[in-house]
């Protein structure tokens, strides 16, 4: 029985609950039901703040009122208050360990809060309660992916895909998992299947471009990166991806254009700054007598490190070429 139907049943038997008993415990429960009924009515009228207040009173009067805790969790979730939503759903799950929706929503909230071990535990239970629910398996897979347990992520994503074979997002995630596990050919084939279902996925084209770069198939990489840019021209990330591909093909002018476009869209994009620096260094390496590209590179890297200091590779590059320029300047001075 789903939650909506349960609420209808509750509303149907309210009069019976209100008419029975007169001791203090029974009276508290009756009052709790009153507040719950009011909350359901307010929720149906989009008066969610008022509904939350009624539900808080309902659970204060009767802490074992599972449906009240569940609805409270739902309203907190809609509000974006994930901590409060988690607390409400936790109590609902304690009171009804067989209720799938509460376990599923709690697991989803734990994922949003990046509490992945807790999410995995509760979503595993949700999958047992409803083995044919594709989204529960998929969400569980995403949690395993976040903790880099790709084998478990693969198992649950494959099951989600079996249950919902026409879901492009599931196939996209499955492709990413294959890539993380080192199976690049399987990754590409799975991502292609995702694009057959939904061509409007710039991030998938970008992911395929990255994979083709690793496979050193640069023409295919460029084709996919260009499709990503065409679909999401206002996304700096796809411009960075295309620029990196062009850089690997040694097409420096085109790479510069794409990195600069990314920086125009996002002035604080450290990846674009890093790429601009690398591109300028590649110009410098073709003619070490011209120091201007190297100076530009150092400026880009300096700005990048100001935005994100923890970049040891960029720090080392900056130190290396700073020393090289300084040594060249000292030699120049001693030659006079």
Q: pLDDT truncated to tens, each residue of the chain (336 aa)? A: 555 555 545 454 444 444 444 455 667 777 888 888 888 888 888 888 888 898 988 888 888 889 999 999 999 999 999 999 999 999 999 999 999 999 999 999 999 999 999 999 999 999 999 999 999 999 999 999 999 999 999 999 999 999 999 999 999 999 999 999 999 999 999 999 999 999 999 999 999 999 999 999 999 999 999 999 999 999 999 999 999 999 999 999 999 999 999 999 999 999 999 999 999 999 999 999 999 999 999 999 999 999 999 999 999 999 999 999 888 776 765 655
Q: In this structure, how many other beta carbons lie within 10 angstroms of the beta carbon of residue 72?
A: 27
Rg, Å, the chain Cα set: 28
3-state secondary structure of 115: coil
Question: Would you state the structure tokens that stand for residue 108, as one six-digit string?
Answer: 């989803």
Q: What is the pLDDT of residue 60?
A: 87
**CA distance readout (Å), 317 to 100, 247, 281, 305:** 53, 17, 10, 12
Separation between Cα atoms, residue 123 and residue 157, nearest integer Å: 13
Q: What is the pLDDT of residue 21?
A: 47
Cβ contact 210:241 at 8 Å: yes
Q: What is the pLDDT of residue 50?
A: 87
Q: CA-based diameter of the chain, in Å?
A: 106
Residue the block writes with tokens 């029975």: 20
Cβ contact 210:242 at 8 Å: no
Cβ contact 189:201 at 8 Å: no
In 3D space, the residue among 92, 81, 152 whose CA is nearest the CA of residue 116 turns out to be: 152
In 3D space, the residue among 131, 187, 140, 190 whose CA is nearest the CA of residue 163 turns out to be: 131
Phi-psi region of 224 (alpha: psi -120 to 50; beta: other; left: phi over 0): alpha
Separation between Cα atoms, residue 114 and residue 124, nearest integer Å: 16
Question: Would you state the structure tokens that stand for residue 46, as one six-digit string?
Answer: 């989009």
Q: What is the pLDDT of residue 81?
A: 95
Burial of 219 (0-12, 13-18, 19+ CB in 10 A): exposed
Residue the block writes with tokens 């007169």: 22
Separation between Cα atoms, residue 251 and residue 268, nearest integer Å: 24
Separation between Cα atoms, residue 223 and residue 177, nearest integer Å: 23
């Amino acid at each position: 029985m789903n939650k909506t139907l349960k609420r209808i049943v509750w509303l149907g038997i309210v009069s019976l609950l209100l008419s029975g008993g007169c001791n203090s415990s029974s009276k508290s429960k009756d009052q709790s039901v009153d507040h719950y009924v009011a909350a359901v009515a307010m929720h149906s009228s989009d008066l969610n703040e008022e509904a939350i207040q009624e539900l808080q009173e309902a659970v204060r009067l009767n802490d074992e009122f599972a449906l009240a805790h569940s609805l409270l969790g739902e309203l907190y979730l809609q509000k974006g208050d994930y901590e409060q939503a988690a607390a409400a759903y936790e109590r609902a799950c304690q009171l009804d360990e067989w209720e799938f929706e509460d376990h599923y929503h709690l697991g989803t909230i734990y994922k949003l809060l990046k509490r992945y071990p807790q999410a995995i535990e509760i979503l595993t239970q949700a999958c047992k309660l409803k083995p044919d629910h594709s989204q529960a398996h998929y969400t569980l897979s995403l949690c395993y992916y976040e903790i880099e347990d790709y084998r478990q992520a693969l198992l649950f994503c494959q099951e989600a895909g079996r249950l919902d074979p026409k879901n492009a997002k599931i196939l996209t995630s499955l492709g990413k998992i294959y890539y993380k596990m080192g199976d690049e050919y399987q990754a590409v084939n799975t991502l292609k299947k995702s694009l057959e279902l939904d061509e409007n996925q710039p991030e998938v084209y970008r992911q395929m471009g990255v994979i083709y770069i690793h496979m050193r198939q640069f023409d295919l990489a460029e084709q996919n990166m260009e499709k990503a840019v065409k679909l999401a021209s206002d996304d700096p990330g796809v411009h960075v991806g295309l620029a990196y591909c062009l850089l690997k093909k040694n097409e420096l002018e085109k790479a510069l254009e794409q990195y600069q476009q990314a920086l125009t869209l996002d002035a604080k994009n450290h990846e674009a700054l890093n790429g601009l620096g690398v591109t300028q260094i590649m110009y410098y390496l073709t003619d070490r007598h011209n120091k201007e590209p190297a100076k530009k590179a150092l400026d880009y890297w300096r700005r990048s490190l100001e935005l994100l200091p923890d970049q040891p590779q960029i720090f080392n590059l900056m130190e290396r070429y700073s020393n090289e320029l300084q040594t060249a300047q000292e030699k120049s001075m001693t030659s006079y």
